[in-house]
Structure 1
Amino acid sequence: MIAGFPWSVLGIEPTEDRKAIRSAYAARLKAIDPDADVQGFSTLREARQEALWLAREGIAATDREAPFDDFAPMDDAFPVAADDERDPLGAGWDAQAPEPAGDTGPVEIAPVEADRLTHEADMRRLLDILQPGGEHSTEPLTAEEYEEGAALMRSIMEHVQDAAIDRQSALEGWLAHWLASGWPRSGPLVEDAVETFEWGRDAGLIDEHPAVAFLNDRLRALAFLEAVQQPDHEWHKAYVELRKPGKRSRLPWQGTNIANVNNLLIHINENYPELHEYLDSDRVASYAEPDEVGSPWRWVLIVIAVLWFGGRLLSAIGPSDNDLGAMPQVELPNRVISTEQRDELARELVGEDYAAVDLVNAFPALYYSLNDLHPVEIDSEEARTRTLNNQRQVIRRSLTVAATTAGFEELVAIKQHRLDMLRATREQEGGNGCLVLIQGGTPPVSVSFDEEFLTRERDLAGRLVASGTLAQAAGEFPESASIPGDMVDEVMTRMGISRGRFEELASGGGDAAGKCDYAIAMLEAILRRPGSVSADLLRMS
C-alpha cells in the first residue's frame, strides 16, 4: 500500500472538499501519459475514487492499513469501487514479498501476512476466470475453469468466514458483486456461495443486498426452469408448446391445454420474467390474442366447402388432356438462386445448424433477403463475397432492432458486437463513417472486418435465431436513461474532456468525431460492468 494513500498520490492534504479532490486529480492527470504509464494512471484514478469516498463518508484518514478495512461505496446497483476497477484490493497492492534493504539474509513472511497475500491472489484469479480479459463474457466455464473456480471459491469463502466480523460483510459484498456481474458465466459457482452465506434467507427482505437479490432471483428462476422441463411437471407440455417457433395453431385439435399455457405465462410474468428468453416470442404473443376458434364442426364444414368449390373451379377452367399436349414447352429464365445455394449462404451467415427454410419464422428479414437473390449475385467469388457482405448488413440492422427487446445476456452480446463495429469503423472511416453506424445501425459498406469478427457475428446471429429474438417485432428505445456519476467521471477521463463537453455529447450535440468517441467510451465503460447499470442505459448505448 502506498504510504499516505490516497492523499500522497493526489499531492494534497486530507480533505472533505470533493471539488479540491477533483482539481488535484485533474492537475496530476496532465502530467501522466495514460498509454505510456498504465500503472500510474490506474493508481491515480484509484486515489481519486478513494479520496472521494473518504470525503463522502467524512473519514479524515491519511492511510488505509488493509485493502478491506472498509468496503468500497455502493453504486447504483452493486457495491464496487466507483470506477469499477478490477483491482478491489487497493492501489499499490503487490502479491510479492517486500525486498529486504541490503544484505540482511532471508526474510520470512509472517503466517498472517502470507495468508492475506494468498487470499488476495485467489481473488484476483477468480476475477480472471469470471471476466476473462477484463470483459464481461457469456461463454460458459470450461470443465477446467469450473474446477479451478470452485477451488478458489472454497478458499475465499473459508477466508471470509475466518475474517474479523467487521471485514466479513465487506468481503461477502465483494464476492456477491462479482458473481452477479459475471452472470451467467458465474452460474455454476453461485449455489455454493448462497448456501455458505445463507443468502437465501434474505430473499425478499427490504434490506436484501442488491447483488444478492439478483443472484437469488436467477437461482429461483433456474430451479423453476429445471422443474418445468421434467415430463411429469403439470406445465411441461405448456412449456414445450411455448418454445415452438411461430404463432400457435387456431385449430380445435391442436392438442394443447390452453388453460395450462395461460397459467404458465401468468406464473412466469409474475415471478420469473427473465425466463421469457427461453420461450418463442411469437408463440407467447399469439396466446395473448383472442381465441376465435369456435365449434369444431364449423371448421369441418368450411374445409369441405373449400375443397368442393376448388375442385369445381379447376374442372371448369382447366385445359383438357389434348390441350395440354398441344401447349409449347417454354424454358423459364432462372430468376432466383437454388435452394442449395440459399442454404449454403444461410449456413455461412448464421451457422451450420441452419438451412434457409429454418429462417422463415426465426429470422424472416434474412430469409426473404436470401430468397430474392438472383444467380448473377453469386456467379463469381467476387460477386458472392459482395452478396455475403450485403446480407451481413441485414443481420446488423436486425441486431440493432433486437436490442429493444433482447434479454440481459443477449443485450450484452449485441452491445459488445456494436462496440467492435464502432472501433473498426472509427479506425477505417473516421468520425463521419462512425456517425453513419450510430445513426443507421450499420457501418458503411467500405468498412472491412476480419475473420475473427465475422465468426463472432455469425455465432451471435445463430444464437439469436435459436432464441427467436430476431423474429420479434421492434420495440421502443428508451428516450432517456440515468448515467451513474462515477461512470460520467470515467468517460470524461477516458476522453480527456470537461463536464460541459460531456453533457453536450450526452445530449446528442457535438461533431461527428466527438459523437463517435463518446459512443465508444460509454460502451466500454458500460460493458466493464453491465450488471450494474440500468437496462435503459444499456439499450440506448
Structure 2
Amino acid sequence: MFLNQRLKGMRFHEKVQEPGHPLHKAWTELSRPGAAGIVDRLKVKRLEVHKLLTGIRDRYPELESHLDPERVASWDPKPDDGTSGIGPRIVRGIVIVLVVLAIPRMLSQCSDGSEDSAPPIAVLSDAEVDAKVREIFGLSVDMDAVKRVDPKLARELLTAINKPDIVLPLNFVRLQALGSAEVADRDALEARAELKAIWLTAAQAKSAQICRMAMDGDLRALTLDFSEKERAREQDLLRKLLEAKVLSHMPKGGETRYAIPGWLVNDTLERSGLSLERLKAALTDPDSAERCEAETALAQAVRASPKKVPDDVLKGL
C-alpha cells in the first residue's frame, strides 16, 4: 500500500510539471524561491494553490519537499488560533427560515499585504496613471489623492496599472472592495453590498458563466457592461470605500453565519421568481444551476433597502 502511494506520488510529480496540467501554474509558483509578492499572487489563482497543497498533503506529503518552504509559507499563513489554512478563506453560512447551512467560499486576493514593499517603477506617465485612476474613482481622484488617503493601496494599484495583463486595474480595486467586509463600518458595508448588486446584475445580463465568475469573486479578467448612470454610481461607491480606507485590507477569513430576515426572503423570492424551496437550495448549494438568479436577486433586494438589512447579512453578502 505504501509503495503504491509512493508510485502514485511519483507519477503525479511528473504530470504536474507538464504545462498542460491544471495545477502546473500553482506547482511552478510554489517551486520558486522566496516569498510571493503582489505580482506573483496575480498570476496564479489562490484556489489552485489551495487545491495543490491540500491534495499533496492528503495524498503525497513527501512531494512538499520539492516546493520552496518560504514560498509555501507566504501562500499558506497560519491563523492566530494555531490551525493551518491556505490564505484568506470565508466560509459563509446562510440561515433561511431558521435553517443554517454553510457555504465554503474562496475569496480571490491580489494583494500580498506587505507594508514595506517598495513602490513599483512606473511604466506609464503620471498623466496616463491618473487617467486610469479616474476611470476607477471618478474625475476628482488622481494617484496623488489615492496616495494621501491610502499609501498602501496606491502602491498596489500602481502595480496593477502597470501590469494590466495580470489584472485590470478596475478589477483589482473591485477585488479589494469584496475583501473589505471585515473592517468596513456600516456605511462602507452598505456601499460594498450595493457594488455587489451592480456587478451581479451586469454579470447575469451577459451569461451564466460570467455571473458565476462574479459570484465566486473571479473578477480578474471580467469585463462588465454598465449604463453611464451605473458606471458613475460604481465610481461613487468605490470612492466611498477609498475614503473609508478599507481597500488595502488583507482579509483573514473565518466562519460567518447570518440569518436572512423574513422580509428580505420575501423580496428575494419576488425578484428571483423561485419558490422558497428552490431559493433555499440555490443559496445553500454552490453548484446549483439557479444560484446566479438567487444571489443576484438577494443582492438586488439588499440594495433596495440597505438600511433595514442587519450588519451580519451585509458582511456575509
TM-score range, shorter chain: 0.5 to 0.7
Task: Please show how residues 319-338 of structure 1 align to structure 2 within 5 Å.
Answer: 336-338=123-125
Q: What's the CA shift for 1:414? A: 1.7
Task: Tell me if structure 2 keeps the 8 A contact 1:396–1:441.
Answer: no
Change (3 A) 1:417 1:436: same
Change (3 A) 1:506 1:367: same
Task: Please show how residues 282-301 of structure 1 align to structure 2 within 5 Å.
Answer: none
Change (3 A) 1:452 1:357: same
Q: What's the CA shift for 1:460? A: 2.1
Change (3 A) 1:533 1:510: same
Describe the superposition over 1:159-190 as per-residue Cα deviations: whole angstroms up to 9, x where unpaired. Answer: xxxxxxxxxxxxxxxxxxxxxxxxxxxxxxxx
Report the TM-score, using the length of structure 2 for normalisation. 0.53
Task: Please show how residues 87-126 of structure 1 align to structure 2 within 5 Å.
Answer: none
Task: Tell me if structure 2 keeps the 8 A contact 1:356–1:367.
Answer: no
Change (3 A) 1:442 1:366: farther
Specify which of 267, 288, 297 is matched with residue 490 of structure 1. 267
Verify: 1:433 aligned to 2:220, yes or no.
no
Partner SS state of residue 479, structure 1 = strand
The residue number in structure 2 matching 1:311 is none
Task: Please show how residues 467-506 of structure 1 align to structure 2 within 5 Å.
Answer: 467-474=244-251, 476=253, 478-506=255-283
The residue number in structure 1 matching 2:146 is 359
Describe the superposition over 1:25-82 as per-residue Cα deviations: whole angstroms up to 9, x where unpaired. Answer: xxxxxxxxxxxxxxxxxxxxxxxxxxxxxxxxxxxxxxxxxxxxxxxxxxxxxxxxxx
Tell me, which stretches of 5 or more residues in structure 2 are unaligned?
A: 1-120
Task: Please show how residues 37-52 of structure 1 align to structure 2 within 5 Å.
Answer: none
The residue number in structure 2 matching 1:273 is none
The one-letter code of the counterpart of 2:310 is S
Specify which of 354, 368, 388 is matched with residue 156 of structure 2. 368
Task: Tell me if structure 1 keeps the 8 A contact 2:157–2:173.
Answer: no
Q: What's the CA shift for 1:519? A: 0.6
Verify: 1:526 aligned to 2:313, yes or no.
no
Tell me, which stretches of 5 or more residues in structure 1 are unaligned?
A: 1-333, 378-385
Distance of 2:206 and 2:212 partners within structure 1 = 13
Greater share of helix: 1
CA RMSD of aligned residues (A): 3.1
The one-letter code of the counterpart of 1:520 is T
Verify: 1:350 aligned to 2:126, yes or no.
no
Change (3 A) 1:443 1:489: farther
The one-letter code of the counterpart of 1:411 is L
The one-letter code of the counterpart of 2:238 is A
Report the TM-score, using the length of structure 1 for normalisation. 0.33
Q: What's the CA shift for 1:476? A: 3.5
Task: Tell me if structure 1 keeps the 8 A contact 2:160–2:168.
Answer: no
Task: Please show how residues 100-499 of structure 1 align to structure 2 within 5 Å.
Answer: 336-360=123-147, 362=150, 364-365=152-153, 367-371=155-159, 373=161, 390-429=168-207, 431-440=208-217, 442=219, 445-474=222-251, 476=253, 478-499=255-276
Count of residues in correspondence between the two structures: 196
Distance of 1:422 and 1:443 partners within structure 2 = 15
The residue number in structure 2 matching 1:515 is 291
Structure 1 runs of 4+ with >6 Å offset: none
Change (3 A) 1:490 1:355: closer
Q: What's the CA shift for 1:434? A: 0.4
